Amino acid sequence: MSTVAEHVPFLHLCKLCQKISEKKGNEKKLQPLKDFIDYWRNFHNKLHSSNPTTTDSFFPALRLLLPQCERQRAAYGIKEFTLAKLLIDIFCLDKNGVDAKKLINYRSPKTANAEAGDFASVAYFVLKNRSPENGTLKVHDVNFYLDNIASNHAERNKDDLKYDLLYLLRNTSALEQKWLIRIILKDMKLGISENSVLKAFHPDAIDLYNVTNSLEKVCCSLRNPAARLHEIEISLFSPFRPMLAEIALPSQVEGLMKNQPFIIETKYDGERLQLHKDGNSYMYFSRGGHDTTESYGNSPLSGNLTPHIHRAFNPGISKCILDGEIVIYSSKLNCIVSKGENADVQAMQPDGDYGPCFCAFDVLMINGRVLSNLPLTERIKQMKDVFTPIENKIRTTEQITALTNEEVTEELNKAIDNRLEGLVIKDPTSIYKPNMRKKGGWLKVKPEYIDNLMDELDLLIIGGYFGEGRRSNLISHFLLGVASPEKIDAEPTCFYSFCKVGSGYSLKELYELSGKISAHWQAYNPKKPPSCLIIGGGRKEQPDVWIQPSQSQIVQVKAAEINRSKSFATNCTLRFPRVEKIRYDKPWYECMTTTELEELRNLAQGRLATRNLTNEDEEPSPKKQKLQKENKNAMSVAPHFRPTDIRDVQKVSEIFKDKEMCAISSTLDGKQKTEKLIAQHGGKFVQNPGKGTFCIITDKITAKVKNLINTKLYNVVSIDWFHRCLENQVLLPCL
């Protein structure tokens, strides 16, 4: 089947480029481009009116308009100087003649006149009288020969490369040659950004290009200018990239939600899963688009999930797509257990203790209608009509509506108490945008995002609380205390309650701990409290059971900060405490003391600088706290942006002497290794490239690296180049 590119003369594209480059102002430059795109689309419609499913697209033209964005074609290996020599050769120019000199010295105003510095313009004037008046090539042909040139370069096939270039030049007019040269040099000098070109093609082209890095995907997916990206990406039995959540602190939520009400959802600790259903046919896809149907079942007769959930779908629902999290449900405990407790959710047998349970939090299609454009509240409402929950097999996420940061903190505390991972906060008006993370309206709030500047504290279990509901026979939460030292070197006899903890340990660890201490639990009677424990606080904090300190265990706890609190005997407590380890190796009497706690509070005041912990009467105003928090954030730099500590690094060579380099790596470990090697071999490294930076070393073309490349200010080299320099013990040219 023929394509538009086989019909459109390359000359048309060159005339367009010429027009764009001559016009002044973005709008004026963009108009001819828009006209050209329309002309292409209309041509396409006419050409393929009989077969609308054709895969033909604007890609052959766009890859020529934006050669710098081209990822599909390998490098041509041709820069100005090489091209000058090739042109001299191909056109048999006298090497000492004026024209050859113009090409070789294209930068010099003396030889190249007004066009100095612009190789393509210099070449245009040199070749004008040597080129055919009219070119014969179509857009398709040019791409075909450029592909050949790139592969000949890769295979070091210089003769064939010359032949293909000769063919292109022999069959193009001078104007076409000028633009051909610009395409080969990947510097179009159009005077408009690549984003403007992409936007002229389709309003979602920039987003899609940023995600896929593929002009071809952009052209194929966005062929229809009226269809928006989020609609296009969602279709039955084909995986889409799920919408993601941005990291946030509880204190940032109000601001990020623009002081409007927001939805707080339970954050399930499982794996992302898409469920696609059409009658009795089911498919499941993981976050990365992998087909996981085999485990969960493609019909009501197979797999460890579909047979259990098929009957949950309401009768009117034939086709649907749900987005959610697959978690592990323990039938013994009658609750969801965390991922760490049973590693492989896909391999679980339905008749065992554990089984998969699908927690749906979004619906993207109902009976063939794509819903991604509806606001979240509307989607959730419609989701409720899709299936009737079955507690241990398929359910909807719990949601509440809130307005303040305080509510977020409160919910996060509850989530931690319930041994959940955190919260997901969603803007009720947000539409579903596949693969969108930033500014999409979804936030994830987890305790570990809160700066862990606190030391680990060794606290003693002094009380316990029964779980709720079906877990009512299991002590799952603990009251922890600190010792009140009376005499130096004597074992403590009195313990103060300090905080309550219910997370950080796995069920296995909890069972193990219970095995060691459960025989020593005694019912707690608030009227007759044990003399060794000072509990403090109200009824809520009083434990159901208590334990003789000498029979108990120390747990190592990490937390975000120490807060004032009247609920515990210490008059303070920990915010977001989590058990890091159960310290079977430490005897009960070596737990933290009230004196140590006091010292830590004083120290924490200095280190955290967020709250006046010692001044019990004067809590800073919320505004001041916010300011202090911001100051604190400014002080702590994420590890990825911190220079690697090279105090122990010994210099072994001078390969990179006087060279300043900047390592950008996809992993923190990779970045640190590269920075150490730079220092070991005599170079200097910086966290952000500047004027004096010799090169940027990277192992992946990320959006950041792409931006740096686009500035054209830096040499961006691959990590392989860096390792080759080390292997050869020389500074190789940056290619």
* CB proximity list for 705: less than 8 A, separation 6 or greater: 664, 696, 698, 716
Q: What share of the chain is helix, strand, coil (3-state, %, to 5)?
A: 40, 20, 40
Give residue for tokens 């963009």: 30
- Beta strand pairing status for 319-330 and 354-366? antiparallel
What distance in Å separates the CA atoms of residue 639 and residue 668, rounded to the nearest whole number?
Answer: 7
CA 141 to chain CA mean position, Å: 39
- Interface map 320-359 toward ligand ATP (x if CB under 6 A): -----x----------------------------------
Query: Which range touches ligand ATP (CB under 6 A), out of 126-134, 224-232, 262-270, 483-491?
Result: 262-270
Nearest-approach distance from CB 322 to ligand ATP, in angstroms: 12
Burial 335-348 (b: 16+ CB within 10 A, else e): bbbbbebbeebbeb
Which residues from 371-430 bind ligand ATP, rule CB under 6 A? Answer: 397, 424
Contact 447, 249 (CB under 8 A): no
Nearer to ligand ATP, 265 or 675 (CB): 265
What distance in Å separates the CA atoms of residue 197 and residue 369, rounded to the nearest whole number?
Answer: 32
The SS3 assignment for 414 reads helix
Nearest-approach distance from CB 323 to ligand ATP, in angstroms: 8
Query: Which range touches ligand ATP (CB under 6 A), out of 156-164, 194-202, 263-271, 483-491?
Result: 263-271
Q: Which of 446, 421, 115, 125 is nearest to 269 (CA)?
A: 421
Residue 314: exposure state from Cβ atoms within 10 A (0-12, 13-18, ≥19): exposed
Nearest-approach distance from CB 499 to ligand ATP, in angstroms: 25
Which member of 241, 272, 632, 676 binds ligand ATP (CB under 6 A)? 272
| Amino acid symbol at 409 | T
Nearer to ligand ATP, 371 or 457 (CB): 371
Query: Which range touches ligand ATP (CB under 6 A), out of 265-273, 308-316, 501-509, 710-718?
Result: 265-273
Token pair belonging to 698: 């990277």
What is the side-by-side strand order in the sheet with 684-685? 684-685, 660-664, 693-698, 716-718
What distance in Å separates the CA atoms of residue 501 and residue 416, rounded to the nearest whole number?
Answer: 8
The SS3 assignment for 471 reads helix
| Amino acid symbol at 392 | N
Which residues from 64-93 bind ligand ATP, rule CB under 6 A? Answer: none
Nearest-approach distance from CB 272 to ligand ATP, in angstroms: 4
Nearer to ligand ATP, 204 or 265 (CB): 265
Nearer to ligand ATP, 326 or 365 (CB): 326
Which residues from 114-143 bind ligand ATP, rule CB under 6 A? Answer: none
Q: How far is CA 411 from CA 317, 406, 464, in A?
A: 34, 9, 22
Nearest-approach distance from CB 288 to ligand ATP, in angstroms: 11
Nearer to ligand ATP, 232 or 424 (CB): 424
What distance in Å separates the CA atoms of residue 189 and residue 712, rounded to the nearest whole number?
Answer: 13
Q: Which of 322, 414, 409, 303 is nearest to 364 (CA)?
A: 322
User: Residue 487 catalytic?
Assistant: no
Q: Which residue out of 267, 277, 433, 558 is catalytically annotated? A: 267
Which member of 268, 495, 498, 568 binds ligand ATP (CB under 6 A)? 268
Nearest-approach distance from CB 397 to ligand ATP, in angstroms: 5
Query: Which range touches ligand ATP (CB under 6 A), out of 264-272, 347-355, 469-477, 627-635?
Result: 264-272
Query: Which range touches ligand ATP (CB under 6 A), out of 266-274, 448-456, 634-642, 660-668?
Result: 266-274
Q: Does 578 bind ligand ATP (CB under 6 A)?
A: no
Nearest-approach distance from CB 432 to ligand ATP, in angstroms: 11
Query: Which range touches ligand ATP (CB under 6 A), out of 156-164, 260-268, 662-670, 698-706?
Result: 260-268
Which member of 267, 308, 578, 583 binds ligand ATP (CB under 6 A)? 267
Nearer to ligand ATP, 448 or 654 (CB): 448
Token pair belonging to 705: 């690296």
* CB proximity list for 519: less than 8 A, separation 6 or greater: none
Query: Which range touches ligand ATP (CB under 6 A), out of 261-269, 313-321, 347-355, 386-394?
Result: 261-269
Nearer to ligand ATP, 436 or 479 (CB): 436
**Which residue number places its CB atom closest to ligand ATP?**
272
Nearest-approach distance from CB 290 to ligand ATP, in angstroms: 14
Contact 462, 495 (CB under 8 A): yes
Q: How far is CA 705 from CA 236, 467, 523, 669, in A?
A: 35, 50, 62, 18
How many residues of this chain bind ligand ATP (CB under 6 A)?
Answer: 11
Nearer to ligand ATP, 303 or 440 (CB): 440
Token pair belonging to 642: 């911190």
Q: How far is CA 38 from CA 32, 41, 88, 209, in A?
A: 10, 5, 39, 20
DSSP H or E run through 121: helix 119-127
Which residues from 442-481 bind ligand ATP, rule CB under 6 A? Answer: 444
Which member of 329, 361, 465, 588 binds ligand ATP (CB under 6 A)? 361
What distance in Å separates the CA atoms of residue 461 and residue 598, rounded to the nearest whole number?
Answer: 20
| Amino acid symbol at 446 | K
Which member of 245, 376, 394, 695 binds ligand ATP (CB under 6 A)? 245
Token pair belonging to 24: 């002044």
Nearest-approach distance from CB 266 to ligand ATP, in angstroms: 6
Nearest-approach distance from CB 434 to ligand ATP, in angstroms: 12
Token pair belonging to 633: 């954030």
Token pair belonging to 29: 């430059």
Query: Which range touches ligand ATP (CB under 6 A), out of 97-105, 115-123, 267-275, 487-495?
Result: 267-275
Largest CA distance in the chain: 109
Which member of 141, 164, 233, 265 binds ligand ATP (CB under 6 A)? 265
Nearest-approach distance from CB 363 to ligand ATP, in angstroms: 13
Question: Catalytic positions, please?
Answer: 267
Binding site for ligand ATP (CB under 6 A): 244-245, 265, 267-268, 272, 325, 361, 397, 424, 444
